[in-house]
Amino acid sequence: MKLGGVASSGKVPWFLYIFFLVHMLAFGGSGFFLAYFEPDPPVDLIFMHGGIAITVYLVFYLTIFGLDEVKWIFINAFLGLFGIIVEIDWILSLYDRKLSDFPVYLHIIPFLYYILYTFLIRRAVIDFSGSLNNAKRKKRVEIGYIVVSIIIYLVIYFV
């Protein structure tokens, strides 16, 4: 049983994915650069800028996808903690930086954006593959998503 959300009654329009992917890339990117590329990062601005945006995104996610789907945010977070660390550390390495160069509290906003972004990618894959209303296909797509994610994380980690 699905609890709420536009998606509980059908497929989410493709333009919503495009809108949120672009919008979150802009806000998440600016939060990422604020946290990791400012000489003296404005922590209060980082938390206000990111905290407000993340709260608004969560409200939209609950409205659009429903509670049952949004629980995947936390599944992705748990499953993807290794991936988050590996991928953000890899991105920072392109600029001769690493996660350990920064205090832990600066990682909160970029990590939360990453979690929300990967949830949106997972959900878009389910919708675009026509798996939303086909439990068997959805299960295969979700397993594929997990396997592909782990492969990507391992490749980045070892490269």
Q: Give φ, ψ of 43 to 5 degrees.
A: -55, -40
Count of other CB atoms within 10 angstroms of residue 50 = 22
Domain count within the chain = 1
- pLDDT in the model for residue 18: 92
Q: Which domain holds residue 131?
A: 6-158
Instruction: Report whether pLDDT(44) > 90.
Output: yes
Question: What is the average pLDDT across 13-34?
Answer: 90
Whether 125 is in a domain gets the answer: yes
Instruction: Report whether pLDDT(118) > 90.
Output: no
| Per-residue confidence band for 1, with pLDDT thresholds at 50, 70 and 90 | very low
Question: What is the average pLDDT across 140-157?
Answer: 89
Instruction: Report whether pLDDT(149) > 50.
Output: yes
Question: What is the average pLDDT across 138-157?
Answer: 89
Whether 1 is in a domain gets the answer: no
3-state secondary structure 22-85: HHHHHHHHHHHHHHHHCCCCCHHHHHHHHHHHHHHHHHHHHHHHCHHHHHHHHHHHHHHHHHHH
- pLDDT in the model for residue 131: 92
Instruction: Report whether pLDDT(64) > 80.
Output: yes
Whether 78 is in a domain gets the answer: yes
Least confident span in 7-21, 92-106, 108-122, 138-152: 7-21
- pLDDT in the model for residue 84: 82
- pLDDT in the model for residue 6: 61
Q: What is the pLDDT of residues 83-114, one digit of tens each?
A: 888 888 999 999 999 999 999 899 888 888 88
Whether 63 is in a domain gets the answer: yes
Question: What is the average pLDDT across 59-76?
Answer: 85
